[in-house]
Copies of this chain bind each other. A is one copy, B any other.
Amino acid sequence: MPAHAFRGILVPALTPFRSDLTPDADAFVTHCRWLLERGADGLAVFGTTSEANSIGLEERMELLEHLIGSGISPDVLMPGTGTSALTDTVRLTAHAVERGCAGVLMLPPFYYKAVDDDGLFASYSEVIQRVGSSSLRVYLYHIPPVSQVPLSLELIGRLLSAYEGAVVGLKDSSGEWSNTEAVLREYPALATFCGSEVFLLDTLRRGGAGSITATANVNVAAIRKLYERWQENDAEALQEEINAVRRAFEVYAPIPGLKAVVAGFYDSPDWRRVRPPLRALEPAASEALTGSLAGLGFQM
């Protein structure tokens, strides 16, 4: 794993919206600070969970600048920068690098489907070459259930060989442990993060870097605890505990569910808001989720 790669638990921080659906930059900073105070090793802002793909290019860049301007160090930031359009991806990536972000989490272009490895290799190559900075650290983002554009093992290997030092990590949100296991086995030089904490112990046992996971928005301390204690006797029990919380959210639409719980925590109903095409959790579902979590003794 590269010496300067991220390790640990990173949070794809949720993005709060005001009633006019503009990002609430101050509430966002507050949440990011809280996550870091609770032990997050980094913030994968503008991830899938952040609804980043529903947020415009200019808005994303402004929000990143606000975050850094508010004192969040770019050393802990791994913004998502992959869009469907080559030049927009270059723009967001170059911006993140210029602002000193320690890494970027990069989706493949996700509009055209059934594209082949050569096309995806060319996409990532163009972005890396156009950004043209020795400070660029790319974390590949494999999330086929949403992007519908998988990154094959072969493609990952080609990118790693061609751009050693620039391509340094991967987030595997395939939900398939066999795939994460294969990446860990084939590419030990890559900082590999599981996209769900249910695979955290397995990931760490096979030399992985940690997890970048949605649920860390509400449960980062417990997940971080397993990251610290994965070689201790209570590791399996800690894994079971965080799995139970994860499962409670998986019953509902995860992003609206997380926002409902965060809204309760900050006592701010505005936090429940999502951008279309997502929809806020219905009050009855929020109550049921809160009930499930209370049953687990969960506290944010």
Contact = CB atoms under 8 A, between A and B. Distances in A.
Given A113-B145, A148-B148, A122 B279 contact: yes
Interface in A170-199: none
Given A110-B111, A148-B113, A148-B148, A85 B276 contact: no
Interface string A110-123: 11110110111011
A277 B85 contact: no
Contacts of A84: 53-54, 83-84, 110
Contacts of A126: 21, 276
A300 interface: no
Contacts of A148: 113, 148
A119 B59 contact: no
Interface stretch (A71-79, A86-94, A261-269, A290-298): A86-94
A146 interface: yes
A278 interface: yes
A54 B276 CA distance: 22
Contacts of A85: 53-57
Q: How large is the interface on A (under 10, 10 to 19, 20 to 34, 35 or more residues)?
A: 35 or more
A51 to B, nearest CB: 8
Give the copy number: 2
Given A55-B85, A58-B87, A109-B277, 7 more contacts: A53-B112, A59-B87, A110-B111, A111-B146, A113-B148, A115-B277, A120-B276
A112 B56 contact: no
A21 B53 contact: no
Contact of A122 (B111, B149, B276): B276
A113 B146 contact: yes
A83 B54 CA distance: 9
A57 B88 contact: yes
Contact of A54 (B54, B86, B120): B86
A108 interface: yes
A125 to B, nearest CB: 8
A95 interface: no
26 contacts: A48-B112, A53-B85, A53-B111, A54-B84, A54-B109, A56-B85, A56-B87, A56-B88, A57-B57, A57-B88, A58-B87, A108-B277, A109-B277, A110-B111, A111-B147, A112-B146, A113-B148, A115-B278, A116-B279, A119-B277, A119-B278, A119-B279, A120-B276, A122-B277, A122-B279, A126-B276
Given A111-B110, A113-B148, A126-B21, A276 B53 contact: no
Q: Residue among A85, A119, A126, A277 with the most chain B CB within 10 A?
A: A277
A275 interface: yes
